[in-house]
Structure 1
Amino acid sequence: MIAHLAIWTQDLERMRTFYETYFGAKSSAIYQNTTKQFTSYFLSFGEGCQLELMHRPDVPSDSADPFIQRSGLIHFAVSVGSHRQVDALTNRLKADGYEIADGPRTTGDGYYESVVLDPEKNRIEITI
Protein backbone atom coordinates (compact mmCIF):
# COMPACT_ATOMS: atom_id res chain seq x y z
CA MET A 1 0.00 0.00 0.00
CA ILE A 2 1.30 3.48 -0.83
CA ALA A 3 1.49 5.51 2.38
CA HIS A 4 1.93 8.96 0.84
CA LEU A 5 2.98 11.01 -2.17
CA ALA A 6 4.97 14.24 -1.84
CA ILE A 7 5.06 17.50 -3.77
CA TRP A 8 7.72 20.19 -3.45
CA THR A 9 5.89 23.49 -3.47
CA GLN A 10 6.84 27.14 -3.78
CA ASP A 11 3.78 28.34 -1.80
CA LEU A 12 3.00 25.87 0.96
CA GLU A 13 -0.03 27.70 2.38
CA ARG A 14 -1.67 28.30 -0.99
CA MET A 15 -1.31 24.65 -1.92
CA ARG A 16 -2.65 23.46 1.47
CA THR A 17 -5.67 25.73 1.09
CA PHE A 18 -6.32 24.48 -2.47
CA TYR A 19 -6.45 20.82 -1.43
CA GLU A 20 -8.55 21.60 1.65
CA THR A 21 -11.00 23.73 -0.34
CA TYR A 22 -11.54 21.57 -3.42
CA PHE A 23 -10.77 18.03 -2.25
CA GLY A 24 -11.78 18.09 1.42
CA ALA A 25 -8.25 17.41 2.67
CA LYS A 26 -7.56 17.54 6.39
CA SER A 27 -4.17 18.99 7.23
CA SER A 28 -1.73 18.02 9.94
CA ALA A 29 -0.08 20.73 11.97
CA ILE A 30 2.84 22.31 10.16
CA TYR A 31 6.18 20.55 10.60
CA GLN A 32 9.24 22.79 10.67
CA ASN A 33 12.92 21.90 10.63
CA THR A 34 14.67 25.23 11.06
CA THR A 35 18.13 23.74 10.52
CA LYS A 36 17.20 22.58 7.01
CA GLN A 37 14.69 25.41 6.40
CA PHE A 38 12.15 22.67 5.65
CA THR A 39 8.40 22.91 6.28
CA SER A 40 5.64 20.47 5.41
CA TYR A 41 2.05 19.40 5.90
CA PHE A 42 0.51 15.95 5.57
CA LEU A 43 -2.93 16.04 3.99
CA SER A 44 -5.43 13.25 4.59
CA PHE A 45 -8.38 12.43 2.37
CA GLY A 46 -10.14 9.98 4.66
CA GLU A 47 -8.58 6.54 4.49
CA GLY A 48 -5.57 5.57 2.42
CA CYS A 49 -2.76 7.48 0.84
CA GLN A 50 -1.80 10.92 2.15
CA LEU A 51 -0.30 13.86 0.29
CA GLU A 52 2.75 15.58 1.76
CA LEU A 53 3.27 19.19 0.73
CA MET A 54 6.88 20.26 1.30
CA HIS A 55 8.74 23.54 1.04
CA ARG A 56 12.39 24.48 1.24
CA PRO A 57 13.59 27.81 -0.22
CA ASP A 58 16.49 26.27 -2.15
CA VAL A 59 14.33 23.84 -4.19
CA PRO A 60 13.79 25.38 -7.65
CA SER A 61 10.41 25.48 -9.34
CA ASP A 62 9.81 23.05 -12.20
CA SER A 63 9.56 24.71 -15.58
CA ALA A 64 8.21 21.62 -17.36
CA ASP A 65 5.05 22.16 -19.40
CA PRO A 66 2.18 20.49 -17.47
CA PHE A 67 0.34 19.71 -20.73
CA ILE A 68 3.23 17.58 -22.08
CA GLN A 69 3.63 13.98 -20.96
CA ARG A 70 7.10 13.09 -19.61
CA SER A 71 8.90 10.39 -17.67
CA GLY A 72 8.40 10.26 -13.93
CA LEU A 73 5.34 10.77 -11.75
CA ILE A 74 2.89 12.68 -13.94
CA HIS A 75 -0.37 12.79 -11.98
CA PHE A 76 -2.39 11.36 -9.14
CA ALA A 77 -6.12 10.65 -9.12
CA VAL A 78 -8.75 11.62 -6.60
CA SER A 79 -12.03 9.72 -6.54
CA VAL A 80 -15.11 11.89 -5.93
CA GLY A 81 -17.80 9.21 -6.26
CA SER A 82 -19.93 9.92 -9.36
CA HIS A 83 -20.08 11.38 -12.87
CA ARG A 84 -22.08 14.30 -11.46
CA GLN A 85 -19.44 15.05 -8.83
CA VAL A 86 -16.62 14.89 -11.41
CA ASP A 87 -18.53 17.39 -13.55
CA ALA A 88 -19.42 19.65 -10.60
CA LEU A 89 -15.89 19.83 -9.19
CA THR A 90 -14.38 20.35 -12.65
CA ASN A 91 -16.83 23.19 -13.34
CA ARG A 92 -16.17 24.74 -9.92
CA LEU A 93 -12.39 24.68 -10.47
CA LYS A 94 -12.78 26.14 -13.97
CA ALA A 95 -15.07 28.91 -12.67
CA ASP A 96 -12.51 29.70 -9.98
CA GLY A 97 -9.82 30.17 -12.62
CA TYR A 98 -7.94 26.86 -12.49
CA GLU A 99 -6.80 25.25 -15.74
CA ILE A 100 -8.60 22.17 -17.01
CA ALA A 101 -6.14 20.04 -18.99
CA ASP A 102 -8.70 17.50 -20.23
CA GLY A 103 -12.29 16.36 -19.90
CA PRO A 104 -14.53 15.54 -18.33
CA ARG A 105 -14.70 12.50 -20.57
CA THR A 106 -14.86 8.73 -20.63
CA THR A 107 -11.43 7.34 -21.50
CA GLY A 108 -10.80 4.44 -23.84
CA ASP A 109 -10.33 2.14 -20.86
CA GLY A 110 -13.67 3.16 -19.34
CA TYR A 111 -12.71 5.73 -16.69
CA TYR A 112 -14.76 8.91 -16.36
CA GLU A 113 -12.41 11.72 -15.47
CA SER A 114 -11.14 15.21 -15.93
CA VAL A 115 -7.61 16.49 -15.47
CA VAL A 116 -7.06 19.77 -13.63
CA LEU A 117 -3.92 21.67 -12.68
CA ASP A 118 -3.37 22.74 -9.09
CA PRO A 119 -1.93 26.21 -8.33
CA GLU A 120 1.60 25.00 -9.14
CA LYS A 121 0.58 23.09 -12.29
CA ASN A 122 0.58 19.54 -10.86
CA ARG A 123 -1.86 17.29 -12.73
CA ILE A 124 -4.79 15.84 -10.78
CA GLU A 125 -7.24 13.38 -12.30
CA ILE A 126 -10.71 13.78 -10.85
CA THR A 127 -12.47 10.47 -11.28
CA ILE A 128 -15.40 8.44 -10.01
Structure 2
Amino acid sequence: MRIEHLALWVRDLEAMRTFYETYFQATANEKYTNHSKGFSSYFLSFPEGGPRLELMQMPGIPDTMNDVLAQFTGLVHFAVSVGGEAAVDALTERFRTDGFPVVGEPRHTGDGYYESVIFDPEQNRVEITA
Protein backbone atom coordinates (compact mmCIF):
# COMPACT_ATOMS: atom_id res chain seq x y z
CA MET A 1 0.00 0.00 0.00
CA ARG A 2 0.97 3.62 -0.43
CA ILE A 3 -0.51 7.08 -0.04
CA GLU A 4 -1.91 7.97 -3.47
CA HIS A 5 -2.71 11.62 -2.86
CA LEU A 6 -3.45 14.30 -0.26
CA ALA A 7 -6.13 16.95 -0.81
CA LEU A 8 -6.42 20.60 0.21
CA TRP A 9 -9.49 22.80 0.01
CA VAL A 10 -8.27 26.16 -1.32
CA ARG A 11 -9.72 29.61 -1.85
CA ASP A 12 -7.67 30.52 -4.93
CA LEU A 13 -7.20 27.43 -7.07
CA GLU A 14 -5.09 29.06 -9.77
CA ALA A 15 -2.75 30.85 -7.36
CA MET A 16 -2.16 27.65 -5.40
CA ARG A 17 -1.51 25.65 -8.60
CA THR A 18 0.99 28.29 -9.72
CA PHE A 19 2.71 28.29 -6.32
CA TYR A 20 3.38 24.54 -6.34
CA GLU A 21 4.41 24.59 -10.00
CA THR A 22 6.79 27.50 -9.41
CA TYR A 23 8.50 26.42 -6.20
CA PHE A 24 8.25 22.62 -6.26
CA GLN A 25 8.24 21.86 -10.02
CA ALA A 26 4.78 20.26 -9.74
CA THR A 27 2.87 19.48 -12.92
CA ALA A 28 -0.89 19.92 -12.93
CA ASN A 29 -3.33 17.77 -14.84
CA GLU A 30 -6.10 19.37 -16.88
CA LYS A 31 -8.48 21.24 -14.58
CA TYR A 32 -11.55 19.19 -13.61
CA THR A 33 -14.81 21.09 -13.19
CA ASN A 34 -18.20 19.86 -12.02
CA HIS A 35 -20.45 22.77 -12.98
CA SER A 36 -23.52 21.50 -11.13
CA LYS A 37 -21.63 21.52 -7.80
CA GLY A 38 -19.34 24.47 -8.55
CA PHE A 39 -16.40 22.15 -7.81
CA SER A 40 -13.01 22.44 -9.52
CA SER A 41 -9.72 20.67 -8.88
CA TYR A 42 -6.21 19.94 -10.08
CA PHE A 43 -4.03 16.96 -9.30
CA LEU A 44 -0.36 17.96 -8.98
CA SER A 45 2.42 15.46 -9.65
CA PHE A 46 6.01 15.95 -8.51
CA PRO A 47 9.21 15.17 -10.47
CA GLU A 48 10.38 12.31 -8.23
CA GLY A 49 6.96 10.66 -8.03
CA GLY A 50 5.29 9.83 -4.74
CA PRO A 51 1.84 10.97 -3.65
CA ARG A 52 0.07 13.61 -5.68
CA LEU A 53 -1.45 16.75 -4.21
CA GLU A 54 -5.09 17.52 -5.06
CA LEU A 55 -6.12 21.17 -4.89
CA MET A 56 -9.90 21.58 -4.63
CA GLN A 57 -12.19 24.60 -4.70
CA MET A 58 -15.96 24.88 -4.18
CA PRO A 59 -18.20 27.68 -2.91
CA GLY A 60 -19.37 27.34 0.68
CA ILE A 61 -16.28 25.62 2.10
CA PRO A 62 -15.51 27.54 5.31
CA ASP A 63 -12.06 28.74 6.30
CA THR A 64 -10.34 26.72 9.01
CA MET A 65 -10.83 27.90 12.56
CA ASN A 66 -7.40 26.56 13.61
CA ASP A 67 -4.63 28.96 14.57
CA VAL A 68 -2.05 28.29 11.84
CA LEU A 69 0.82 29.04 14.23
CA ALA A 70 -0.41 26.47 16.76
CA GLN A 71 -0.34 22.69 16.55
CA PHE A 72 -3.63 20.80 16.51
CA THR A 73 -4.97 17.32 15.82
CA GLY A 74 -5.48 16.19 12.25
CA LEU A 75 -3.30 16.75 9.21
CA VAL A 76 -0.86 19.51 10.14
CA HIS A 77 1.78 19.50 7.41
CA PHE A 78 3.25 17.60 4.52
CA ALA A 79 6.90 17.42 3.52
CA VAL A 80 8.54 17.86 0.14
CA SER A 81 12.06 16.49 -0.30
CA VAL A 82 14.24 18.76 -2.41
CA GLY A 83 17.37 16.63 -2.56
CA GLY A 84 19.86 17.95 -0.02
CA GLU A 85 20.71 20.44 2.68
CA ALA A 86 21.97 23.09 0.25
CA ALA A 87 18.68 22.83 -1.66
CA VAL A 88 16.70 23.24 1.58
CA ASP A 89 18.73 26.34 2.45
CA ALA A 90 18.41 27.85 -1.04
CA LEU A 91 14.66 27.26 -1.35
CA THR A 92 14.04 28.58 2.17
CA GLU A 93 15.88 31.80 1.27
CA ARG A 94 13.93 32.06 -1.99
CA PHE A 95 10.67 31.83 -0.04
CA ARG A 96 11.88 34.48 2.41
CA THR A 97 12.96 36.79 -0.44
CA ASP A 98 9.64 36.27 -2.20
CA GLY A 99 7.73 37.26 0.94
CA PHE A 100 6.49 33.89 2.19
CA PRO A 101 6.59 33.28 5.96
CA VAL A 102 9.38 30.97 7.12
CA VAL A 103 7.96 29.47 10.31
CA GLY A 104 10.80 27.02 10.92
CA GLU A 105 14.39 27.86 10.06
CA PRO A 106 16.57 25.16 8.43
CA ARG A 107 17.80 22.74 11.09
CA HIS A 108 18.69 19.17 11.90
CA THR A 109 15.83 17.51 13.74
CA GLY A 110 16.07 14.89 16.45
CA ASP A 111 14.53 12.30 14.13
CA GLY A 112 17.20 12.67 11.47
CA TYR A 113 15.78 15.21 9.03
CA TYR A 114 17.25 18.46 7.77
CA GLU A 115 14.28 20.71 7.18
CA SER A 116 12.67 24.12 7.22
CA VAL A 117 8.99 24.98 7.38
CA ILE A 118 7.11 27.55 5.30
CA PHE A 119 3.49 28.54 4.80
CA ASP A 120 2.07 28.28 1.30
CA PRO A 121 -0.15 31.17 0.11
CA GLU A 122 -3.12 29.81 2.09
CA GLN A 123 -1.11 29.14 5.26
CA ASN A 124 -0.72 25.37 4.94
CA ARG A 125 2.50 24.18 6.59
CA VAL A 126 4.99 22.70 4.14
CA GLU A 127 8.21 21.12 5.40
CA ILE A 128 11.11 21.40 2.97
CA THR A 129 13.38 18.41 3.62
CA ALA A 130 16.78 17.30 2.33
TM-score range, shorter chain: over 0.9
Secondary structure at 2:89 match in 1: helix
- Report how far residue 64 of structure 1 moved: 1.8
CA offsets 1:98-122 (integer angstroms, 9 cap, x no match): 0011010111122100000000000
State the match for 1:78 in structure 2.
80
State the match for 1:10 in structure 2.
11
Secondary structure at 2:8 match in 1: strand
Alignment-mate amino acid for residue 24 of structure 2: F
Matched length: 128
Q: Runs of 5+ in structure 2 lacking a partner?
A: none
Normalized against structure 1, the TM-score is what? 0.98
- Report how far residue 63 of structure 1 moved: 3.4
Q: Distance in 1 between matches of 2:69 and 2:112?
A: 22
- In the TM superposition, structure 1's runs of 4+ consecutive aligned residues that sit over 4 Å from their partners are none
Q: Runs of 5+ in structure 1 lacking a partner?
A: none
Secondary structure at 2:56 match in 1: strand
What is the root-mean-square deviation in Å for CA atoms of aligned residues? 0.7
Secondary structure at 2:83 match in 1: coil
- Report how far residue 44 of structure 1 moved: 0.2
Q: Distance in 2 between matches of 1:67 and 1:111?
A: 21
Percent identity between the aligned chains? 57
